[in-house]
């Protein structure tokens, strides 16, 4: 008898995607280069907008941790707008329901992706956001599960996980067997506003997918 479990409450460790879906980490330095050298620049207008996001984040954080919805409103939404993901040719969806069957075929995992950027039916970036007290490490296993439901396994899919103050990117390729790799973690704590780097990577991923289609 097939059982169904929620991804968010069930997939919590790195070993689970490995045993349930045969997901492996890729150790090839050339596997995930898209985040390393984005071929674009941040304009002065974008810098001011990103600095404003950073200031609002710390202002709201000064009274305590921020909830997921607050992070979406003051950090994630304006960041994705600057990246152009609310404009043609992209489509933006929230709370997209997905499901995946385990290797044993007797367990189905079902969940909802926080935000999904699409180019027609092609997934561009899967976005998972958490409250500020939530660590990125805990969010990554369920993000892997969401990314594995990509309906176009012949194309790589990218993910971004954030708790408002920290960001990490993921690449997942599911051609021969599912493989992933991670970027560095970008933080709002350093004096240099690392949202600049985050925006450059998002714009690079968007431009790369458009040019490949």
Distance from chain centroid for Cα 136: 11
Q: What is the pTM of this model?
A: 0.94
- Give the separation between CA 12 and CA 145, rounded to whole angstroms: 10
Q: Is residue 12 within 8 Å of 20, Cβ to Cβ?
A: no
Q: Which residues pair with 119 in a beta bridge?
A: 90, 122
pLDDT at 213: 52
- Give the separation between CA 103 and CA 101, rounded to whole angstroms: 7
pLDDT at 211: 79
Low-confidence residues of the chain, pLDDT below 70?
A: 213
User: Cα-flanking dihedrals φ and ψ of residue 158, to 5°?
Assistant: -115, 150
Angle formed at CA 72 by CA 164 and CA 132, multiple of 5 degrees: 30
Q: Which fold has domain 3-212?
A: tt1808, chain A (3.90.1570)
pLDDT at 40: 78
pLDDT at 133: 79
Which residue has tokens 């007797």? Answer: 106
pLDDT at 167: 97
């Amino acid at each position: 008898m097939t059982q169904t479990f929620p991804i968010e409450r069930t997939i919590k460790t790195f070993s689970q995607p490995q045993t349930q879906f045969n997901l492996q980490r890729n150790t090839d330095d050339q596997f995930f280069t898209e985040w390393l050298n984005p071929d674009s620049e941040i304009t002065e207008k974008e810098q001011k907008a990103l600095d404003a996001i950073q200031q609002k984040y710390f202002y709201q954080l000064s009274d305590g941790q921020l909830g997921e919805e607050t992070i979406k409103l003051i950090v994630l939404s304006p960041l994705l707008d600057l990246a152009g993901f609310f404009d043609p040719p992209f489509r933006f969806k929230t709370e997209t329901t997905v499901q995946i069957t385990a290797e044993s075929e007797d367990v189905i995992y079902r969940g909802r992706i926080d935000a999904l950027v699409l180019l027609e039916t092609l997934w561009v970036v899967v976005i998972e956001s958490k409250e500020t007290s939530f660590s990125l490490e805990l969010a990554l296993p369920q993000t892997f599960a969401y990314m594995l439901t990509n309906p176009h396994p012949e194309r790589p899919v990218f993910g971004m996980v954030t708790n408002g103050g920290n960001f990490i990117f993921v690449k997942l390729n599911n051609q021969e067997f599912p493989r992933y790799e991670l970027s560095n973690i970008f933080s709002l704590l350093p004096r240099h506003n690392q949202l600049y780097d985050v925006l450059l990577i998002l714009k690079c991923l968007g431009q790369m997918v458009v040019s490949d289609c």
